Structure 1
Amino acid sequence: MEPDILAQHIYSQNPINLESSNKEYVKILAKSFGMSENDIVAIQKHILSKKTTDKMKDDYEVALHKKVHELKQRNGSAARKDFVVNVLAPYFDALSRNQIYKSGMENEIFERDVCQLYEKFFPGDNAAQSLYAFMNASKIYFSGESFNVDYLNAINRNLLRYGLSLDFELQSTANLLSVQDTLLPMTVYKGDSLAAIKLKRFIPGLMPSKSGYYTIGMHYVVVLDDMIAAHAESDFLELEKGELYKKYDDKRFERFWRYLGMNMTLQKASEIYNFLMKKDFEGKPIAYIKRAEELNTTIHETKHIVDQIEHPELTLNLDAEFSAHITEAVFSPVPNVALLSAIQRMENYAMIQRQPYLNQVVAKLWTIAERSAYEKQYTNDSLRYDLANLYNNYRTIRENAFFEPLNEFAEKIVNKL
């Protein structure tokens, strides 16, 4: 990325401390933005050389304008990559926060040029019109209208043909990511279809906190390699310390557990957490942890799509999350770790909702976790059996309906993974 474009791109995402050369701080920035530590120091100096944020933005706009003009004369894969890195990626990111290039006619001319370049480098059905519609849909969102995800899906259907995908979050960030792997090939499922792909960052930028997701209207789920790697490293370092990690230290949890009639303390909950993490991950290399987390995320997100196929009438998010988390734990190579994830998600829902049925679910999950932590004869197969029973007997809160049995999901999805 050109230095003047990179400077605005980075600083607009997060106004970093420009004068701190603290090694830990630089290291954190490097990991956060997907850059080397030397490049972080270099961009700090480059931003400081601009003196003011207005000067930095002016130089960014000049560099962007120059790049667009230059790319009109170029063709081929190298020019396409240059367009992606220096025009499309920073433009999408700025658009996600409504930070348009300029105002008035200058912005309209710039956006028209970007749309034409997009069609030139990513030819497809009505490529320029699709991008223009997406631009407008994003901008009117900031004037109070809803955003139609179909416009984003149209962009991604085209980009995927070239090994790219746009992760776009309004009022946050946008990342153009490369397709690193196909985790699940397109699979027919009950008259519909689904697939799973792994995306990886190749342009500097902040990643969202999620490990994976799926977008309504698309037939594939996304797993974010950078975030999976970050979580795996965090788990590995936590285990390496070899001491009790105080996962629970907020007294509100203790009050909530008492409200549920549970005999649970912060100390005991943290102890169970540590036991279960060690049960699945102790002594394992970081590559194993990463692959296990990747499988967990893929199973979780594909279950969301399958539930949409099987029960499109189910609309309550906490029901969907229960289904995905428990399915993840049943089929996970690290079921205790997946169980902990299920507890954390469902417990957070329950503490806010105070819904009686959901409270029962949380209490049952903790009972299963306690048995897995303390009973030697309680194996991973015992754990999976109890979780499958919990899943099979669960009734959705709004519709009072059962989820479909997991046999077909196991055969068509899990076996392929």
Structure 2
Amino acid sequence: MFGVDGFSLRPREAVGISMTAEGLRLVRLAAPEERDGVWTVTASSGAACSCDGADVASLAAATCAALDSLGWMHLPLGLALPAELAMTAEREFPAALTGAELQAALLWAMRAEADREGSTLPADLRLCCAPMETDANTHRYWTAAMEEPRVQAYFSAFSARGLRLRRLTICPPDGGTLAPLIAAAREPQMPWEELEEHPGECTAIYAGLLVPKPSSSLSWQAEHCIFPRLRRRAPELTAGAATLFFAVAVSADAAGLMAERTATETVQEELRLHDADVRRMEEYAMRRAAVAERERALAEVQAESLPLCALLVHLGTLPLKGIQLTALRAGQMLEIEGEAESYEALATMTEQIAEDGFFRAPPVLAEVSREDGYIRFVLRTDGVGL
């Protein structure tokens, strides 16, 4: 059921679970060695469940009963909740973002929208996000947000039933970036087998495929406590530690003798190569000074570029319909160049920028001309209020 991957155990089997109008859909997946570790659906089953996803305790009880009847209680689980249980949305940014930077930008955008609407977001939101199809100028991301206590309630309820819930997620439209893996997992293993369509199966496969993956923004995971596991493994850990200490004690004397001999030979060699060492130290000092200078210059560039990054993210959140920004220059004055489909679109954009309060002074329309059917413009201001 498990395969060794470095120093960690990577599961070879998993169960994905989704919720449908008929109840639960449970899909068992495996990554057999004969298929080069490609995850494949080995079994799919439905189970009755009269509760909705918001009733955590009832959902855990129904899942436990279904897994027990199938003999899958020992397998790690991935659970995909219905999208209506979380705050979901699609957002666009002008630059590609990943990891913590992406989550910070999404939270910033959500809180900015809430402030404009006069509402307040919970302080303990946890995000589940996935990249969507993008083009050269726009990067789209799908986001699901849920409060931290709610997320942990699912892991606690399943753990209380003895279930190994490893990943909690909400499936993005069409499976997001895992769509090719979902299609590969559903392919018939034999030529005579026919592909059967079951409601919620693709969503369950999506949840199951996240179980063996490292932690990522595609899913939520529980906050693990290692001490109960250490207590269960205390005899093995104690025996291993004793063996290690014994081996260290036995080899200490031999290692000491070898170290003394090596030290003596090293001192003799150092005496012969003293002049060469001095030259190497001088060269090292010069290189270290050069590296320090480069790091200082890089830090200055990064510090100067922070307002520009904030401006790019801010402009990416504005609904600039009929507007395409083509250039951005920051110096003593900030200039924004672009093309507008009409004067009405240009006027709407300048009003939005002037009203959002991001700039210290509202941008002024410095230049405007019509070329090739588009209205080319230049907005100018003295900087941003960061």
TM range (shorter): under 0.3
* TM-score of the aligned structures, taking structure 1 as reference length: 0.20
Name the structure with the higher strand share. Answer: 2
Structure with the bigger percentage of helix: 1
